[in-house]
Structure 1
Amino acid sequence: MGFVAFNELLDDLDHGAGVQAAGIRRGYGGPPARTVCVSSGLARLRCASLLKPLYAWVSAARIPDAERWRRHAEPSVVISSNADTLNLWLAVGPGVILDDIRRRTGVAWSPPNGDPSRFGSVEVAADEVATAYAAFAQSAVAGDPAAATVLEWMRQVGPEQAFGVREAIGAPDAGIKSGWFGAPDETCLRTHVVAVLPRGGTRVTVIVGMTALPYTDAREREIYRERVAKGLSVEHTHEKLAGALLRELMTATLTELGG
């Protein structure tokens, strides 16, 4: 399939769409490291909730009360609780969390310029996300207890928030985290997914799919915003708009990495 599959997917995109996919396969004792990265449109996209497991991971060392950390970190990852994520994000501090991620993974991100409390507005590229999650996953399998706990929570993310990725890539035990949102100042909906596939030892495979697809119908956007304001689920809207494309992107990425 290779990059021909990517070309076919990108050629069919609507004008104004932003799409990225990236993957990393690496680890001692395995085949040579391999990376894949493709993109169309904007070079960086707002992360939505895609980075929540990384926030949870590094905040563990900054919150002395382990029970308090777990009380907020677990729902932040497993059910993508915004309230619990904010508790960690603001208690530790956006700059501290992102600096700790940089020190542990080598990937540098900045707090949003407009409002640093908006954890989902950090701008990222798919290859950066893959790199950071690979470092996180290798820390988990190497014995970092916080990373191992967070990775296990990622395996518990339910199907309603996994967008069918586990089934698409044939990895029922994959750790998954998705991000989905459409801000009032955007004419698109962002739908992102990262999947972590430990391979034994320190070998890991990480694949990332990110989309920002046009969503311009005024009435549909109004209904979407009303549901968000009421705390109602909008995953079905993101699935309808981006689900199939995300699954195809991630399947193509995994194939290009060598399975």
Structure 2
Amino acid sequence: MAFNELLDDLDPSAGVQAAGIRRGYGGPPARTVGVRSGLARLRCASLLKPLYAWVSAAHMPDADLWRRHAEPAVVISSNSDTLNLWLAIGPGVILEDIRRRTGVAWSPPNGDPSRFGSVEVAADEVATAYAAFAQSAVAGDPVAATVLEWMRQVGREQAFGIREAIGVADARIKSGWFGAPEETCLRTHAVALLPLGGTRVTVIVGMTALPYTDARERAIYRERVAKGLSVEQTHEKLAGTLLRGLMTTTLTELGG
């Protein structure tokens, strides 16, 4: 399926992005692909949690304390553990360290810097940052390697069928999903890392912000979030097929 087939029937208010990078020393020339419909930047939901975990280790002398919060932040997308890292170290410090290590600059959200999931990003930026992170892991960074392994452990219920769709059972996955009370959309994002040996790596990113305007459905969604209940199935129903299509098409466009 081509990108235009995925985007042709989108609601005009939808935001959709996809990006991919394939690069690495000793391999073919670096290649990037991408597509965007709608806003240039989208809120990141939990898409950046592995990057937050990666850079936060250097700012926490207590390695056990770091792991206690960083591992669940990645493996089960724990918001409370992510918030512990985010506030203990400071969003400015975390995002500046990401910029220093990856070259990608993001800013804390203007309204409330404590909202780690409200950082606004573009898919090509996410792909670039994750490529640097993945290459750091395979080049010998033990913290990056640990976080990369945690991404491999992300369960099926939070992977939105991406491993099966792209045909890579051990792909390192992180997804993000949320719909804030003031939004009229649900955001469903994902990144997948495919180490290729040596320092070669492939990264694919899909991001969606799709209309979710039915008042009753929104009320039920907010109630489930308030009670700490799962809302992944709501995101799957709304965006799962499109998200998987974006990821598989991006990987195909990158070529073998």
Alignment pair present for 1:109 and 2:102: no
Q: Write the letter of the residue equivalent to 2:105.
A: A
Distance 1:15 1:223 in 2: 25
SS at 1:67's partner residue?
Answer: helix
Candidates 111, 115, 119, aligned match of 1:118: 115
C-alpha distance after superposition, 1:120-160 (max 9, x if no partner): 00000000000000000000000001100000000000000
Alignment pair present for 1:222 and 2:219: yes
Which residue of 2 is the match for residue 37 of structure 1? 34
Q: Write the letter of the residue equivalent to 1:128.
A: E
Distance 2:12 2:103 in 1: 34
Question: Gaps spanning 5+ residues in structure 1: where?
Answer: none
C-alpha distance after superposition, 1:191-236 (max 9, x if no partner): 0000000000000000000000000000000000000000000000
Distance 1:216 1:60 in 2: 40
The number of equivalent residue pairs is: 256
SS at 2:192's partner residue?
Answer: strand
Which residue of 2 is the match for residue 140 of structure 1? 137
Which residue of 1 is the match for residue 237 of structure 2? 240
Alignment pair present for 1:255 and 2:252: yes
Q: Write the letter of the residue equivalent to 1:142.
A: A
Which residue of 1 is the match for residue 170 of structure 2? 173
Candidates 190, 194, 205, aligned match of 2:191: 194
Alignment pair present for 1:161 and 2:161: no
Alignment pair present for 1:96 and 2:96: no
Give the superposed CA RMSD: 0.5
SS at 2:98's partner residue?
Answer: helix
Q: Write the letter of the residue equivalent to 2:66.
A: W
Which residue of 2 is the match for residue 70 of structure 1? 67
TM-score, structure 1 as length reference: 0.98
Distance 2:151 2:92 in 1: 24
Alignment pair present for 1:131 and 2:128: yes
Distance 1:167 1:36 in 2: 22
Which residue of 2 is the match for residue 52 of structure 1? 49
Which residue of 2 is the match for residue 8 of structure 1? 5
TM-score, structure 2 as length reference: 0.99
C-alpha distance after superposition, 1:78-118 (max 9, x if no partner): 00000000000000000000000000000000000000000
Distance 1:225 1:42 in 2: 24
Question: Gaps spanning 5+ residues in structure 2: where?
Answer: none
4+ runs deviating over 2 angstroms: none
Structure 1 residue 58, shift from structure 2 partner: 0.1
Structure 1 residue 14, shift from structure 2 partner: 1.3
Which residue of 2 is the match for residue 82 of structure 1? 79
Distance 2:209 2:198 in 1: 35
Distance 2:165 2:28 in 1: 24
Structure 1 residue 15, shift from structure 2 partner: 2.1
C-alpha distance after superposition, 1:133-189 (max 9, x if no partner): 000000000000110000000000000000000000011111000000000110000
Structure 1 residue 243, shift from structure 2 partner: 0.2
Which residue of 1 is the match for residue 201 of structure 2? 204
Distance 1:148 1:181 in 2: 27
Structure 1 residue 41, shift from structure 2 partner: 0.3
Distance 1:192 1:216 in 2: 19
